[in-house]
Amino acid sequence: MYARYHQPIVKKFFLAASIGLLGLVYFEPPTYAAWQLPPEFTMPVEAICLGLIVMRVVAMFSFLKRGSFLTDPRVIMTVAILVFTVLDMVAYIAGYAKGQADLIRWTRVLRPVLVVLAHRQVRRAVNNILRSVSQMLVVVSLLAVLIGITTLLFFVLFQFKYGFRLKKKKIFF
């Protein structure tokens, strides 16, 4: 089973399901009105993509030890997101059947998390981005301080040339 699961065609199939799940955002409301598709089309496509993700979880269950499978945070989060998504789909279908067309799918924001949990390269890229956020904040804060000091310096240097004054005719600084 492990050898069949790790074939390149199977991985590309699961990647296509993940991209399809993310691509549904362009066709579900709220989106551009000309692109919107009715839920009768988007719900089955989403159900197929979620079914493929369930197949991936079942395949992982078949070749992982039960102890490590049940304690793996990625599996727990994937199963939790799948359960929440199915409950959200049922609630949306029930509301849509009653004629409430302004319902919002709250679990759509969790779809990228499924992609991050499912693919090692995406997870690696997200981890690298999150690790570099603190360094980027330091650079941005230093840039802001540099811009502030430069602004004050130019203001002091050019206040007499352009006559920057307060309302009481006092010169700044």
Contact (Cβ atoms closer than 8 angstroms) between residue 74 and residue 117: yes
Contact (Cβ atoms closer than 8 angstroms) between residue 37 and residue 27: yes
Tokens representing 6 are 């790790």
Check pLDDT > 80 for residue 16.
Answer: yes
Residues 6+ away with beta carbon under 8 Å from 13: 52
Q: Virtual CA dihedral for 73, 78, 80, 83, nearest 10 degrees?
A: -160
pLDDT digits (tens, 9 = 90+) for 24-67: 888 887 778 888 888 888 889 999 999 988 988 888 888 878 88
At how many degrees (to 10) do helices 111-118 and 39-63 cross? Answer: 30
* pLDDT in the model for residue 90: 92
3-state SS class at 67 = helix
CA 146 to chain centroid, in Å, comes to: 33
Contact (Cβ atoms closer than 8 angstroms) between residue 88 and residue 67: no
* pLDDT in the model for residue 130: 92
Confidence of residue 88 (pLDDT cuts 50, 70, 90): very high
HSE of 82 in the Cβ direction (CA atoms, 13 Å)? 22
